[in-house]
Amino acid sequence: MGDAASIVSAHPAVRAALLDVQRAFAAQPGGAVLDGRDIGTVVCPAADIKLYVTASAEERARRRQRELAEAGEPALFEAILDDVRRRDSRDETRRTAPLRPASDAVLIDTTELDAEAAFARALAVVAAARTA
Beta-bridge partners for 106: 51
**Residue 5 scores a pLDDT above 80:** no
Number of other residues whose CB lies within 10 A of the CB of residue 75: 17
Interhelix angle 57-70/77-93, nearest 10 degrees: 130
What pLDDT is attached to residue 2?
64
Question: How many DSSP H helices and E strands does the chain contain?
Answer: 5, 2
What is the CATH number that goes with domain 2-131?
Answer: 3.40.50.300
Residue boundaries of the structural domains of the chain? 2-131
What are the C-alpha distances in Å from 53 to residues 21, 39, 84? 23, 12, 15
For residue 72, which amino acid is it?
G
CA 45, 49, 52, 53 dihedral sign is negative
> What does the pLDDT read at residue 15?
80
pLDDT tens digit string along 11-62? 778 888 889 999 999 999 988 999 988 899 999 999 999 999 999 999 999 9
Q: Residue 7 pLDDT more than 80?
A: no
**DSSP conformation class of 105:** P
Among 83, 85, 86, 87, residue whose Cα is nearest residue 9: 87
CA-to-CA distance for 108 and 121, rounded, in angstroms?
8
Q: How far apart are alpha carbons 110 and 69 in whole angstroms?
A: 21
Query: pLDDT per residue over 84-130, tens digit each?
Result: 999 999 999 988 888 999 999 999 999 999 999 999 999 999 999 99
